[in-house]
Structure 1
Amino acid sequence: MAADPFVVKDIRVEGLQRVEPGTIFSYLPVRVGETFTDDKGADAIRALYNTGFFKDVKVESDGQVLVVRVEERPTLASVDFTGLKEFDKDALKKSLRAAGVADGRYFDKSIIEKAEQELKKQYVSRGFYKAEIKTTVTPVDRNRVAVVFNVEEDEISKIKSISINGLQNFKESALLDEMQLSQGNWLSWYTKNNLYSKQKLVADLESIRSFYLTRGYLEFSIESTQVSISPDKTGIYLSINVKEGVQYKVSSIKLAGELLGKEDDLNKLLQLKPGDIFSSSKLTASTIAMADKLGAYGYAFAAMTPSTDLNKEAQLVDLTLTVDPGKRIYVRKINVTGNNKTRDEVIRREIRQLESSWYDSEKLKLSKDRINRTGHFTEVDISNEEISNSTDQIDVNVKVAEKPTGSLSLGAGFSSTDKLILSAGISQENVFGTGTSLGLNLNTGKTARTLAISSYDPYFTEDGISRFTDIYTRSSMPLYYAGDTQYKVQSTGTNFKLGVPYSEVDRVFFGIGVEQLKMTSSVNTPLAYQEYLREYGETSLNVPLTLGWARDGRDSALIPSRGTYQQVSVELGTSLGDLQFYRAFYQHQYFFPVFKGNVIALNGEVGYGDTYNNKTFPITKNYYVGGIGSVRGYEPGSLGPQTSQVYPGTSIPTGVTSPTGGSSKLVLNGEYTFPVPGSGVDKTLRLFGFVDAGNVFDGTIELSQLRKSYGFGLSWISPLGPLKFSYALPLNSKPEDRLQRFQFQIGTAF
């Protein structure tokens, strides 16, 4: 009803329960002393409704008093679910809260209906096409309601068949192998590859298209796709209709555009040649390689635009790559992020790209590899960021994801021989974020006791000279369990080593050490150790010099996927001590990616030792082989020559033997590593299969005596550090060999 305008002398609000009166006054278009009209009344009602706080609003007059009567919407007292199995209740509550459905929010039927539909979509995305969701709204006290989403998940819908029609040159199975979606297999419970997803289908269609373009079918097209569901909504049927076309060969390929005088260099990067079957993957690889080449000269945004000219009758294609280098770019700033613990300088000292200099893609790639080789990070990403109002400058962003670099171990045990055993160890590869490693190891066992402190500083000097030092005292009674309580080896010493870089991947090492070795024995001590005592005495001093070289071309020290690693070392016992010997060691590792996170890794190690004073090679310097890290499936250090214990006061063997190691060794390893199915290309959790071979020898290496094994395992970059578990099956073990099929290690690649 229309009302005559009047001057407002007072404003009265009725019906409020939770909303403050001030909120009402802030939305009213009229104040005390102003004239109220019908238009202002309509504006007031509209404004108060739009707040969402009220389900009924009335504006009336009582004389010259403006009366605002409201009825508040009920609030949500609680939001709950019943019948949930597929989803986590807390995760769903969190997503609904973002949509406005949460405890304490105002009840709005339309929002609840939208939330219900969104939950339905979530179930459909996981293949639950029969899922039903019904919402119950129950009034409670103080103008509140309780909302319960009642879920009936029912049976999950699975892909029953995938058919690809129109094939002439390839088998359907070859194309199905390119797809993520499938009819399912024994791993589908984990990979979920038999559950339909529109996003996966789009990706699969692109994979099929890429399959044909890589093989020269330039006119290939996907005519249509049909997705149907069975009447009971438990089965999904996919039908893909394709037109293959014909296969094209390259008749010519040329470069055009601004070549900057680098035409010869760019032509060398072309992977397609006249006469080759056209391949989109080779064309893409060529354009990426050329863009990287121009990036090394400062052209960060170089673009290669391919164009094709088809001769359909001859089934030939002429290719033209138009090069647009763009402007030469400077790097304004380098930003480092993600290093919550590691200091910026630890990362920046590995970066070879300089600020305020020309952009260089090769230096940035090298920088990424060097940062990865520190071993402190699980991920390293380098990206470019354009600067507004500048056409010749960019910022480079280096983003890292740190891995746990410290570990603490505490242990206690009891045995009939060692009694109470206490052990503790602490190591930190990145002390206070400086990149320096520090370790302390303590063991109180009766047969093996250790106290060792070690430190490694990769940047002992600003020029990148590294320093390694350790101080240790160790004692072992390896024959204690066999009844020889007198045999004991006590070693105390220190080592100091410097590593000098002379290229981005090469480093030479120089070191010196001092070690005092003390050995006690009894009449039960095996013959090999008694012979050592006769030659060198119970106490001996060793002052070794070490020389070495290492070349690290891996893309990561923690999780390598490509590149090589080599090291050579020579340890020489000098005449300053009692042990005059030499030991030479060479190792070569090779990593190369296969596809989608699959990596083949090869490792070879060879060592040889001898004396230069006509004495027997000291048994304390022998190599040991066996166990994870060398030949899996055999007890650690158990392969190779054995020594027999003797009856007291005689040289008659008792039949009890112990491994003594050998002066030479050969170890060969091969691993095929791949991500856990369903984890994408996650690098932190991987499966692997392996083949090992190796042994130690007294002198000449005999290939016929190599022990071999094969098996499988799991590697995990855990909060405790890199863990590796393996199960091995020996191939040619001998009766005297000591087998240990399941083994684990906290350590690195091999």
Structure 2
Amino acid sequence: MRLSPRTTRALTLSAAVFCASAFVPAWAFTPFTVHNIEIQGLQHITPGTVYNYLPIHIGESVDDALAQKAVQDLYSTGFFRDVSIARSGDDLVVVVKERPIIASIETKGIKAFSKDEVESTLKGIGLEVRHIFNQATLDQVVQGLQQQYEGMGYYDAKITPHVETLPRNRVAIQIDVEQGQQATIKQVNIIGNHAFSENRLRGLFSIGAPDAFSFFSKNDRYSQEKFSKSLEKLNNFYLDHGYLNFAIESSQVQITPNRRFVYLTVNVHEGDVYHISKVDLTGDLILPRSKLEKLIEIHPGERFSKANILATNKAIADELGNYGYAFANTTPVPTVDPKTHEVALNFQVDPGHRVYIRRIDISNNNRSMDYVVRRQFRQMEGSLYNRSLIDRSKLRLEQTGFYQNVTTKTVPVPGHPDQLDLDVAVDERPTGSFSVGVGYSNAQGFLFNGSITQKNFMGTGNALSFSANVGGLGSAFNLSYTNPYFTPDGISLGFNVFRNDTNLSTLAVAPYQEVDLGGAVTLGIPVLEYVYDYMSLGFTHTNITLDTSNPIPLYQNYIDNYGNSTNSFTLGNQLEYNTTNSPIFPTKGLYTSLDLKAAVPPGNLRWYKAEVKANYYHPFTSWLSGGLGMRYGFINSFSGKPVPFFNNFYLGGPLTLPGYQTYAVGPQIDGYPVGGTRELLLDANLYFPLPGLEDNKNFRLNAFVASGWVYGVNAVNDGSTTNYAYSNSYFPSLGEMRTTAGIGLLWISPLGPLRLSVAIPLDKKPGDLTQPLQFTVGNAF
């Protein structure tokens, strides 16, 4: 085999390196001018990479100092485990031994962290496939994992790294983890408290001794992070109640010898209660003083409260932010009098300068078209910065259901102090789904459902859906399509077609079957920022089949007047006002709607219906909120014939009056609830998180009181049979109202919404159908 001149030269130089007589080490040669540079020992790293870090170039003079610097520079790259420099004539020979390349990384036994979290951490620290392996980095990973596990209470965790040498200077890394069991908190002791009981203070902690909810919340498992947050909440609690000099003097974590249990001890110093003696407002106020003073949430005579002070700072800054002052800042300056235990507060206002939004940049909208995000924005490019418009824009984006999280960040424009760019990052959630599921309701039995849904069809923001549900009540099929921006002004257009087969006799509500087939077209018009008007035109063909040979008069009268089959053409208009802060679990705001609908010619049904709904939500604390709800409606016929009984209102069940059977509240004829042409429902709720899961947005508990009744159909017994009559009264007798109280749980589970309620009817009457425990899993219809 004949070697090329280049190969021959390389072999010659290589031999020279290992022959003591052929070269002189870097620290022993005399200065010389480099005519050529040879690099030996490379396997994965390119020569160009070495040249970039080498501080010696052809034509330069090299001495001992420069040679030593070259060795240090190359070694400091971390690419090599050994570097040497030698001279062969006027050639500089650089001999390196590369560190191995990571061929694979595998982790086994890690359960406390997700795979994505582990991979992201390893990548961030430099342990990544096809990167250079450094034992020190692996040791750092092992030490960091050990600390993470101990911080989460896994004191028995054992982490064992394995490095397998592979051909071609590669290594395979495997990290084996034996997590062991997470330490359980045995007791939390608080020492030094006098103003508040130990039980009340323990209630501030997100971790503690096992309780009834520990199975779900895992709040009895020790976590250093949760313990630190609990201590912060304890500190803020005292500061919010006037204890200005409160301090946590020490906190101890004691582990039992078997490393299975943890005892937490917190020593506190409460100090004295301080009150506010004076509140002042100074600085460049910009806005009228009277307007800003209304935003102050702490007043003379009240206890010192850190929360109220921070709320005042934010309220003033946000208000100034609505007028373009994006950098407004309010600094509370306290003057403390330790003798009188009073604090004088001076809120110093610095508005900064007004700024404009130059550009809005959208990121992470990998599926959604850019305009789908932009059309929800109320803050316009080129206009003054407005904090409330930005917040409103974020809420509108979240209410689309397309995004799990929306973050905004202002970025100064270089050279233009009066301009900002607004960066908007959206975290998209899956909006398309194909599902086949099974649910259960103790009202309807097993529910089988399947659906194909795309709420953001092809990234356009349009919604397309087909669903099929089969359960104890029958079946329902629905196809719908909605374009929320049929016009650039936000007018929406949608349609749906459906077929519903309902057998209410399975609920012991009514002995009949109903088949509905039809569709509707809906036009939505944005009237004001929080006001929408929806107009609809629909058609429904209804077929009624009575189950018994001797039906109750109410149903037979319908058949006598209309026959078994009817057609109805409906015109509807719904006016909606919505300022709530969340489409799923609102804690603040007002939702009201007025829904008007009428069946008109050429259909053979004639009726008109009105229903008004209102729900008000108000936050009391960061975790506790309240809600008041009201629903009232009526339906009348204008054809001289009775209102079709299947258009009646019904109450009862977990969504209206928990504690009573579904649809079972109201008048009864021959033992069957028949609904009514009038309805009234009132409810009051307290909403709070599941203990230990305060930050989990998929759970919410509520304590409630609800009262309601449907009426307008009166049973008349003539001695031989039961007939009926209609009432013209628009309001029920208070003695007829049914009231219930209880507690409920709503969980957005992987199977769909789960509703569970335990309720006690407070004024049960003879014949009422009650059901204290009610739950629904999956999509009900």
TM-score (norm 1): 0.80
How far residue 265 of structure 1 moved from its aligned partner, in angstroms, is 0.7
Query: Out of 745, 761, 769, which is 1:713 matched to?
Result: 745
Which stretch has the larger CA shift, 571-580 or 392-401? Answer: 571-580
Q: Please give the per-residue CA displacement for 1:120-171, whole angstroms capped at 9, x wherever unaligned.
A: 2222222234555566667777777776667665665555555444444333
Aligned to 2:677: 663
Query: Out of 753, 757, 764, which is 1:723 matched to?
Result: 753
Q: How many residues align?
A: 725
Aligned to 1:555: 581
Query: Hey, what's the Cα distance between the residues in 1 that align with 2:674 and 2:468?
Result: 25
Which stretch has the larger CA shift, 382-391 or 150-159? Answer: 150-159
Query: Hey, what's the Cα distance between the residues in 2 that align with 1:497 and 1:116?
Result: 60
Contact 2:513/2:547 (8 A) holds in 1:
no
Aligned to 2:609: 583
C-alpha change, 1:69 and 1:478, in structure 2 (3 Å) is closer
Q: Does the alignment pair 1:746 with 2:740?
A: no
Q: Please give the per-residue CA displacement for 1:67-122, whole angstroms capped at 9, x wherever unaligned.
A: 77666656667766787675678965764465455677666554444333223222
Contact 1:370/1:555 (8 A) holds in 2:
no
Matched ranges for 1:229-268 at <5 A = 238-268=264-294
C-alpha change, 1:306 and 1:231, in structure 2 (3 Å) is same
Contact 2:482/2:492 (8 A) holds in 1:
yes
Aligned to 1:737: 769
Q: Does the alignment pair 1:604 with 2:630?
A: yes
How far residue 585 of structure 1 moved from its aligned partner, in angstroms, is 1.4
Amino acid at match of 2:405: E
C-alpha change, 1:299 and 1:577, in structure 2 (3 Å) is same
How far residue 266 of structure 1 moved from its aligned partner, in angstroms, is 1.0
Query: Out of 572, 575, 582, which is 2:598 matched to?
Result: 572
How far residue 346 of structure 1 moved from its aligned partner, in angstroms, is 3.9
Query: Hey, what's the Cα distance between the residues in 1 that align with 2:450 and 2:92?
Result: 80
C-alpha change, 1:343 and 1:679, in structure 2 (3 Å) is farther
Which stretch has the larger CA shift, 269-278 or 203-212? Answer: 203-212
1:358 alignment partner, SS class: coil
How far residue 437 of structure 1 moved from its aligned partner, in angstroms, is 3.8
Aligned to 1:504: 529
C-alpha change, 1:641 and 1:402, in structure 2 (3 Å) is farther
Q: Please give the per-residue CA displacement for 1:382-428, whole angstroms capped at 9, x wherever unaligned.
A: 44333332222223344444444445456899xxxxxxx99865444
2:359 alignment partner, SS class: strand
Query: Hey, what's the Cα distance between the residues in 1 that align with 2:366 and 2:171?
Result: 45
Aligned to 2:359: 333
Aligned to 1:417: none
C-alpha change, 1:9 and 1:365, in structure 2 (3 Å) is closer
Query: Hey, what's the Cα distance between the residues in 2 that align with 1:56 and 1:459?
Result: 66
Aligned to 2:651: 625
Matched ranges for 1:386-405 at <5 A = 386-405=412-431
Q: Any gaps of 5 or more consecutive residues in structure 1?
A: 414-420, 645-656
Q: Please give the per-residue CA displacement for 1:670-714, whole angstroms capped at 9, x wherever unaligned.
A: 554444555442324445555555453324645536374745333
C-alpha change, 1:426 and 1:689, in structure 2 (3 Å) is farther
C-alpha change, 1:734 and 1:164, in structure 2 (3 Å) is same
Matched ranges for 1:34-49 at <5 A = 42=68, 45-46=71-72, 49=75
Query: Out of 170, 174, 177, which is 2:203 matched to?
Result: 177
- For the aligned residue pairs, the C-alpha RMSD in angstroms reads 4.7
How far residue 256 of structure 1 moved from its aligned partner, in angstroms, is 1.0
Amino acid at match of 1:746: N
2:556 alignment partner, SS class: helix
Query: Out of 359, 371, 384, which is 2:410 matched to?
Result: 384
C-alpha change, 1:38 and 1:159, in structure 2 (3 Å) is same
Q: Does the alignment pair 1:526 with 2:554?
A: no
Q: Please give the per-residue CA displacement for 1:11-34, whole angstroms capped at 9, x wherever unaligned.
A: 888777777788778877779999
Which stretch has the larger CA shift, 499-508 or 685-694? Answer: 685-694
Amino acid at match of 2:528: S
Which stretch has the larger CA shift, 43-52 or 211-220? Answer: 43-52
Matched ranges for 1:79-228 at <5 A = 95-96=121-122, 98-101=124-127, 108-129=134-155, 131=157, 133=159, 156-157=182-183, 162-185=188-211, 187-188=213-214, 191=217, 193=219, 199-225=225-251
Which stretch has the larger CA shift, 369-378 or 63-72? Answer: 63-72
Contact 1:605/1:667 (8 A) holds in 2:
yes
Q: Does the alignment pair 1:307 with 2:333?
A: yes
C-alpha change, 1:8 and 1:244, in structure 2 (3 Å) is closer
C-alpha change, 1:90 and 1:198, in structure 2 (3 Å) is closer
How far residue 332 of structure 1 moved from its aligned partner, in angstroms, is 1.8
Aligned to 2:9: none
Query: Hey, what's the Cα distance between the residues in 1 that align with 2:314 and 2:36?
Result: 75
Q: Please give the per-residue CA displacement for 1:336-394, whole angstroms capped at 9, x wherever unaligned.
A: 34444344444433433332222223333333444444444443444433333222222
C-alpha change, 1:138 and 1:250, in structure 2 (3 Å) is closer
Aligned to 2:16: none
Query: Hey, what's the Cα distance between the residues in 1 that align with 2:47 and 2:424?
Result: 53
Contact 2:709/2:736 (8 A) holds in 1:
no
Aligned to 1:418: none
Q: Does the alignment pair 1:348 with 2:374?
A: yes
Q: Please give the per-residue CA displacement for 1:602-628, whole angstroms capped at 9, x wherever unaligned.
A: 433222223345432222322233444
Contact 1:372/1:555 (8 A) holds in 2:
no
Contact 1:724/1:747 (8 A) holds in 2:
no
C-alpha change, 1:677 and 1:274, in structure 2 (3 Å) is closer
The percentage of counterpart residues that share the same residue type is: 33
Q: Does the alignment pair 1:296 with 2:322?
A: yes
Contact 2:284/2:349 (8 A) holds in 1:
yes
Contact 2:700/2:747 (8 A) holds in 1:
yes
Amino acid at match of 2:695: V
Query: Hey, what's the Cα distance between the residues in 2 that align with 1:27 and 1:465?
Result: 62
Contact 1:723/1:747 (8 A) holds in 2:
no
Aligned to 2:4: none
C-alpha change, 1:177 and 1:619, in structure 2 (3 Å) is closer
Amino acid at match of 1:716: I
Amino acid at match of 2:755: F
C-alpha change, 1:324 and 1:473, in structure 2 (3 Å) is same
Query: Hey, what's the Cα distance between the residues in 2 that align with 1:293 and 1:83?
Result: 52
Amino acid at match of 1:706: R
Query: Hey, what's the Cα distance between the residues in 2 that align with 1:643 and 1:9?
Result: 110
Contact 1:631/1:693 (8 A) holds in 2:
yes
Aligned to 2:572: 546
Query: Hey, what's the Cα distance between the residues in 1 that align with 2:495 and 2:111?
Result: 56
Query: Hey, what's the Cα distance between the residues in 1 that align with 2:73 and 2:456?
Result: 60
Contact 1:628/1:744 (8 A) holds in 2:
no
How far residue 299 of structure 1 moved from its aligned partner, in angstroms, is 1.7
Which stretch has the larger CA shift, 3-12 or 283-292? Answer: 3-12
Contact 2:206/2:692 (8 A) holds in 1:
no
